Structure 1
Amino acid sequence: MTRAQGQLAFTDDVSRDLELQEYGLDPAADSTLLPNAAVMSALQNLVRLATELCGAPFGVVNIISAEYQHQIGAWGVDPGICSREDSMCAKVFLSRERTVVADASQDPRFADNPFVTGEIGNVRFYASVPLQTESGFVPGTLCVFSDQTKELRPEQVSMLEVLAKQVVELLELQHRTVQLDRTYAELKDSNAKLAGFAGRVSHDLRIPLTTILGYVELVEDDPDMEPQSTAARYLDRIGTSGRRMLGMLEDVLSYSRVGGGIQAGQVSLRSVAEEVIRDLGIEDQGIVEVEDLTVHADRGQLRILLQNLVSNAINYRSRERTLHVRIRGISNYHGATVYVEDNGKGIKPEDRAKCLEPLVRLRREGDGPGTGLGLATCSNIAKAHGGDLTLAETPGGGTTVAISFPAGS
């Protein structure tokens, strides 16, 4: 072997072991390299079926690492570990072709193998099928064997190949489980960092906001301030919105700390909607019509949801008609569905799914400013409540947003 060939073999071996780790299979010699219990049980059943279909007393699922062969499923023998050099399957599995040998002692590939010579075993009949994934990776084989010579019928070989595909499906299940576990761990870490970040931001925003509110209160208490003056009305609005913003900061901080947890209770839809209308400064414009409904929801998150939807209606109003927004809902024993209907530009059916993704904007002529996070945030709030958010067309033009909230326990 040349130096270049040796380096290539080393690279392939490292790559193989890394790939096995992605499947949750540790290639270390002192590891049992076992998948989870449910997969192990299913593997054993498949190996047993393979031996019965082929009329062979022994069967195994072999995983072949850079240095070892690990038997992770077995029937008729106890699963074990041997060196890759001693493995019969290691000699043929990378060919990606099935191997069926009536008498291994007469086959030049296996005649001097310790599993054939009696040093480790006394294999005569041997049949194996490589386990090939969709990506082309071959982690090992499904093989059956006997200490007696034997022939297989074509239909038996075909069934062995079918069972090998089922083994691959189980390994892919293990692969997806590992990926999900890793993603979940990363999500927990991300949520912890988000909670810390939200805490710092909340603290940094709370200080200047509290200072502003303090000065507002000082001016309001000034004896020279006329209670019915325009300045007094403006100060009252600043104070009301500022105090609500402080509450919203606390809601955001609480939301991040619980990883999106919901503090749900019975909430008046009208009460929350009226807060939103005042926050947006449109209470005197007659734009929004509200019907009352009791919703089992997190009040703070319901307010964020309604504020985003009403703001969207304002930003994407139609030039052809006076803006009108209707907030209503229906309820039954399953829960409640809130509808926010506007008569604005509307959203084409082919764009609705895209609009629920974060940072997506349609960028149509005349559209108001935005970040592309409003509808995505609303959708996440609905899902956090165990519900859903859907978009439809308002009769006569515009967008109707339907948000379902399951009934509380």
Structure 2
Amino acid sequence: MLSPPIPNNESQRLKALEEANILYSPTEEEFDNITQLASFICQTPISLISLVGEHEQWFKSKYGTDMCTSERDISFCSHAILEPEQLMEIEDTRLDNRFLDNPFVLADTDPIIYYAGMPLKNFDNMVLGTLCVIDTKPNKLNQEQKKALKSLAKQVEILLELKRKNDYLENIKKQLNEHNAMLKDFAGVVSHDMKMPLANMIITADILKAKFGNKLGEEGLDYLKNLKQAGLKLSSYINGILDHYESDNIAASNNEEFDVHQLLEEIIDLLNITEDCVINLPEDNTIISSNRAALEQIFLNLLGNSLKYNDKDKIVIDIEFSQNPDFYYFSIQDNGIGIPKEKEDDIFKLFTTVAKSDRSGNKGNGIGLSTVKRLVGNLGGNLKVNSEIGEGTRFDFSIRRKA
């Protein structure tokens, strides 16, 4: 018996095998289907997906045997990987100097008399192991069987690469989730810690105006006004950040039954509208079962935008509702300033604003619509916008109905 020589690129090969993250992994149906198919096509009782490690070979998938591993020095696959582009076929191992006294060949039960193995390579052309078929008697594959075995080996390579990429993406996803969690905690802590000082600043500005307004003069009063407006703007910004990061928790809250008209009427009261405004509710009042807290947040943002970004003397907002067995559908149409077509995708990005200022001359913070999109997505629905400059904007969104 001749022990297989070590490949010249062994260190790089072993590193590639480690990075593939496949050694000693659980069985997977996709790989088992290939070994079963290889045995069927090649008419052999045994088929293996073998990965050649530093000291042993391990079988990712096996058909026709209970063996899981063997020493590398006596493995057939350790010889096969020496010729990465070639199918190694041994019609009778008892006649080959490399294997004639191999323990597997001399075994009393189920000896390995026939072997055919096709090397498996990774994306970087490093050989990881083989797809092999084994028989307990002399055998020989015809050309069609050889071609099929090579094709199946290529499918194993594709599966290995898909697994490597999927593991990489899962790792990136895990890191992003950890970073997002840290940012969320940071934003929450900072925002909560800033709310009280801001509230004190706004109240102090009002107190100074009330007590010393007649002594400050017009310029001093302007300073106080600017101070209060800056505090209110920053407070709104902080509340927006908190709402955005709380949207996942809101979307996870339980469903409850409520009627659509009552929900909308309560939201309209919360908005405390002072402008000349008509809001037309859906024609039919309907009892629905959904996430009320999430819908409140969605409508507060969308209706608030319809009010703020409107330059008409009379604001008109139409709300529509419909449903089917799978979804609830809502739409909000206003007669506001509209959104440029090229900006319609940008408005849902966090901290992105399109309009220079709202009806009161204030600039938005670019958080509300990002929060709406996040909420709608968490509720299993879709959100889209259709707008015309100077004519108005229509938002359509859906919410998946739960059984």
Q: Using the alignment, how far apart are the partners of 1:292 and 1:312 within structure 2?
A: 19
Equivalence map 1:7-406=2 (5 Å): 9=9, 11-21=11-21, 25-26=22-23, 33-35=24-26, 37=27, 39=28, 41-93=29-81, 95-107=84-96, 110-111=98-99, 114=102, 118=106, 122-132=111-121, 136=125, 138-172=127-161, 174-175=163-164, 178-179=167-168, 181-183=170-172, 185-212=174-201, 214-215=203-204, 251=243, 254-255=246-247, 258=249, 261-262=252-253, 266=258, 268-269=263-264, 271-272=266-267, 275=270, 283-284=274-275, 286=276, 290-292=279-281, 296-297=291-292, 298=294, 301-302=297-298, 305-306=301-302, 309-310=305-306, 313=309, 326-333=317-324, 334-341=327-334, 342=336, 344-348=338-342, 356=348, 375-394=369-388, 399-406=393-400
Amino acid in structure 2 at the alignment position of 1:194:
L
Give ranges in structure 1 of 5+ residues lacking alignment: 1-5, 27-32, 226-230
Q: Using the alignment, how far apart are the partners of 1:194 and 1:177 within structure 2?
A: 25
| Counterpart residue number, 2:3 | none
Percent same amino acid among aligned pairs? 20
Deviations 1:103-155 (A, max 9, x none): 345456x4468366538994332212233455655432211012322111122
Contact 2:57-2:75 within 8 A present in 1 as well: yes
Aligned residues: 364
Contact 1:62-1:72 within 8 A present in 2 as well: yes
Deviations 1:306-348 (A, max 9, x none): 278549956xx8xxx9996745222224313233455525314
Contact 1:131-1:142 within 8 A present in 2 as well: yes
Q: Using the alignment, how far apart are the partners of 1:338 and 1:220 within structure 2?
A: 44
Deviation (angstroms), 1:362: 8.3
TM-score w.r.t. structure 1 length? 0.67
Give ranges in structure 2 of 5+ residues lacking alignment: 1-5, 215-220, 357-361
Q: Using the alignment, how far apart are the partners of 1:112 and 1:183 within structure 2?
A: 49
TM-score w.r.t. structure 2 length? 0.68
RMSD across aligned positions (CA) = 4.8
